[in-house]
Amino acid sequence: MLNEYSWLDKSLDTIHRANWYRSVKEISGLPGAVVELEGRSVINFASNDYLGLAAHPRLIDAAVAATKKFGTGSTGSRLLSGHRKLHRQLERAIASLKQTEDALVFSSGYLANLGIIAAVVGKKDLILGDQYNHSSLKNGARLSQATAIDYLHCDMADLAQKLQEYRANYRRCLITTDSVFSMDGDLVPLPELLSLATKYEAMVLVDEAHATGVMGATGAGCVEYFNCSNRELIQIGTLSKALGSLGGYVAGKANLIDFLRNRSATWIYTTGLSPADTAAALAAIAIIQDEPERREQLWQNVAYLKQQLSSEDLLPSESPIICLKLNSPETALSKSQQLQEAGIFAPAIRPPTVPISRIRLSVMATHQRQHLETLVKKLRIDH
């Protein structure tokens, strides 16, 4: 019988026919370079746990101790219900890693992007965003009600042309970009972008989700990698990837952070980060600062894999995200399935997330040489 919800089955049918249907695979045991996937041990190239911290005893112990001391939940919005010393310790640690005046933690990176963009620009303003920006940046732009225009991926000539054409018609302008592009692995040309921003009086929001803990001499991210730590900008990121926890953050000048505490709806009207997540992220930052050898190992693994794989099969990447180009969603799905049968967990990424279907491999510091060799061997056989 047809009713007002019948469109759901029709829509699902269309998604299936296009090979765009997504389902979740169950893993068991601790996260790591090897995981139990659907009852079988596989080498894991599907996680963003770049430094292998999500199962690190220091993070687990910190989370357990914080839970025992402060309970499981934060019980309310920080403004209404108060916060723990831990929350400010984490914010100070992020600010110190990023060399900014202050930082603010959100319940996720997605919420940080939504709430910060919607707070700093509005109807009278302009957002210019990279066409390959993460969904949270794009939806933040929608929520803000600013005029949002995409520029071509990492194309500074196109950004310059759009600034020239539109900037003067708006009050404030915000340029938004991933720093490491999450589904491609390439980097924003940050110094050129910042020069354009200065010339056209635009603010810059850079999403360091995949760069924090990974890029730069101390793991602070791409802003550090490009020697731009002294520039005034809005740095966003997540605690859920190299930091092995859950949550998001913004780092920047003290007045920006103070303004956001007063104006960012996704921070004001939501429950504070749990004690366990906060303590785990704090422990992760300490490890990032104490153990640079983890980052060095990660980059050695990245270099080895890139050297072993044929560059014409790969999308351009300067990060631990390495993508194998494939010509259709079906090929991507069947390649991912073949890899899984060979004991390798690597997801197919398809439209509408990306324009070109691909297998996305994310390298970890804790991958052993033998894990990488197994992957290379399997990909060479298939070639």
Ligand X SMILES: Cc1ncc(COP(=O)(O)O)c(C=O)c1O
Binding segment (CB under 6 A) for ligand X, from list 1-9, 88-96, 207-215, 275-283: 207-215
Q: Least distance in Å: CB of 288 to ligand X?
A: 17
Helices (H) and strands (E) in the chain — how many of each?
A: 15, 14
Nearest distance in Å: CB 137, ligand X: 7
The correct pick among 47, 74, 240, 301 for binding ligand X (CB under 6 A) is 240
Which residue in 146, 196, 197, 209 binds ligand X (CB under 6 A)?
Answer: 209
**Of 17-25, 124-132, 203-211, 306-314: span binding ligand X (CB under 6 A):** 203-211
355 preceded by a cis bond (ω within 30 of 0): no
110 forms part of the interface with ligand X (CB under 6 A): yes
For residue 88, the minimal CB distance to ligand X (Å) is 20
Question: Distance between CA 46 and CA 25 in Å, rounded?
Answer: 11
Catalytic residue among 98, 138, 210, 335: 210
CA neighbor of 205 nearest in space, from 106, 278, 115, 108: 115
Taking CB under 6 A as the binding criterion, the range among 3-11, 34-42, 205-213, 300-308 that sits at the site for ligand X is 205-213
Measured between alpha carbons, how far is 149 from 195 in angstroms, rounded to an integer?
Answer: 19
Is 138 a known active-site residue? no
DSSP secondary structure letter of residue 74: -
DSSP state of 239: S
Closest residue by beta carbon to ligand X: 109
- From the CB of 93, what's the least distance to ligand X, in Å? 17
Q: How far is CA 77 from the centre of its chain?
A: 24
DSSP code per residue over 332-344: HHHHHHHHHHTTE
**# of chain residues touching ligand X (CB under 6 A):** 14
Please tell me whether residue 182 binds ligand X under the rule CB under 6 A. yes
For ligand X, which residue of 207, 266, 345, 366 counts as binding (CB under 6 A)?
A: 207
Pairing of strands 126-130, 173-178: parallel
Stretch that binds ligand X, among 9-17, 30-38, 67-75, 105-113 (CB under 6 A): 105-113
Q: Is 28 assigned a catalytic role? A: no
375 burial (CB, 10 Å; 0-12 / 13-18 / 19+) is: buried
Q: Which of these segments, 24-32, 35-43, 107-115, 275-283, binds ligand X (CB under 6 A)? A: 107-115
CB-nearer residue toward ligand X: 196 or 239: 239
56/161 Cα distance (integer angstroms): 47
Q: What is the DSSP letter of 124?
A: T
Residue 238 is a binding residue for ligand X (CB under 6 A): yes
Catalytic residue, candidates 87, 134, 241, 378 = 241
Tokens of 13: 């049918």
Nearer to ligand X, 240 or 340 (CB): 240
Half-sphere exposure for 126 (CA within 13 Å, toward CB): 22
Q: Give the whole-angstrom CA distance, residue 249 versus residue 82.
A: 18
Q: Could you give the CA distance from residue 328 to residue 27 in angstroms, rounded to a whole number?
A: 27
* 326 vs 123: CA distance, rounded Å: 40
State the minimum distance, in angstroms, from the CB of residue 134 to ligand X: 4
Of 66-74, 103-111, 155-163, 194-202, the segment contacting ligand X by CB under 6 A is: 103-111
Sign of CA dihedral 19, 23, 24, 26: negative
d(CA 250, CA 79): 17
Closest separation in Å from C-beta 41 to ligand X: 26
State how far the Cα of 127 lies from the Cα of 314, in Å rounded to an integer.
31
Which is closer to ligand X, CB of 210 or CB of 295? Answer: 210
Of 65-84, binders to ligand X (CB under 6 A) are none
Name which position in 221, 244, 248, 347 contacts ligand X (CB under 6 A). 248
Clarify whether 241 is annotated catalytic.
Answer: yes
Task: Give the three-class secondary structure for 26.
Answer: coil
> Nearer to ligand X by C-beta: 113 or 317?
113
134 binds ligand X (CB under 6 A): yes
Residues identified as active-site: 182, 210, 241
| Chain residues that interact with ligand X, rule: CB under 6 A | 108-110, 113, 134, 136, 178, 182, 207, 209-210, 238, 240, 248
